[in-house]
Structure 1
Amino acid sequence: MHPTRIIADLRVADLEAAKGFYTGFLGLSTEEFTLGWMARYTSPETGAHLQLVTRDATAPEDPVISVTTDDVDGAHAEAVELGYEIVHPLTTEPWGVRRFFVRAPDGTVINVVGHPGPGTGRS
């Protein structure tokens, strides 16, 4: 797999309650997007970013990090071949990403995600 970006997924009880701290104090003032249960905030000056997650909408567990790759189908095939536990199956989600969750040997759940286009199995 070739990751193109890794983002921390921080579990919070309430997105709106947490938003002020992360956008104000930490300076992650640009909301790149929100799904109601998850939102990504970025610093316009540095590009530092973080995703806040209350509870994943379609998966049985919450990931600790999200890893973006240009070939999510290939990454899934590699994870299966290596015998890693797939926590959430390879799925094209209603919000347009293609992803799966894999459990690392230490128990960490990782969201491996691809965006529509070349290498994601979609165009």
Structure 2
Amino acid sequence: MRVHRIIPNLHVPDVGATADFYAGYLGLSHEDLGLGWVTRYVASAAEDGATAGAELQVVTRDGSAPQDAVASVLVDDVDAAYDEARARGYEIVHPLTTEAWGVRRFFVRAPDGNVLNVAAHRR
């Protein structure tokens, strides 16, 4: 398994109310994910390489998991990540699931108590 992107999840009461700050004030591009309970804001990498791009998601609640995650960790092989988490004895908070919106994912609790959404987009 290789991690290729980590996106922090900020918990908010209303994703729609975040646009003025994150898009208007910070100038991030808004990516509507079409789910209502989560949206993403993105800063593109600078052409001169001076900055690397950044992403964050604002989330009211997770759409299908029993607990919210502090970050989404996108990996190249989510099934292998799931098998390894189980082999290491980590608590699986949400089972390996292919969600209706095109993501295969599971939630795992890190030893420090943080819950991570480990995911891969369907190919």
Instruction: State the TM-score, normalizing by the size of structure 1.
Output: 0.89
CA distance in 2, matches of 1:53, 1:34: 12
1:37-95 deviations in whole A, cap 9, x for unaligned? 00111124553111010000100000000000010000000000000000000000010
2:89 is aligned with what amino acid?
A: G
Count of residues in correspondence between the two structures: 117
**Structure 1 residue runs of 4 or more that deviate by more than 2 Å after TM superposition:** 44-47
Contact 1:11–1:52 (CA under 8 A) maintained in structure 2:
yes
Gaps of 5+ in 1: 118-123
Give the superposition deviation at 1:10: 0.5
Q: 19-28 vs 40-49, which deviates more? A: 40-49
DSSP 3-state at the match of 2:93: strand
CA distance in 1, matches of 2:30, 2:43: 6
Give the superposition deviation at 1:32: 5.3
Instruction: State the TM-score, normalizing by the size of structure 2.
Output: 0.89
Give the match for residue 30 of structure 2. Answer: 30
Gaps of 5+ in 2: 47-52
CA distance in 2, matches of 1:58, 1:18: 22
Give the match for residue 120 of structure 1. Answer: none
CA RMSD of aligned residues (A): 1.3
CA distance in 2, matches of 1:44, 1:2: 22
Give the match for residue 6 of structure 2. Answer: 6
Give the match for residue 53 of structure 1. Answer: 59
1:90-109 map, 5 Å = 90-109=96-115
User: Residue 75 of structure 2 is aligned with which of 69, 73, 77?
Assistant: 69
Q: Percent identity?
A: 60
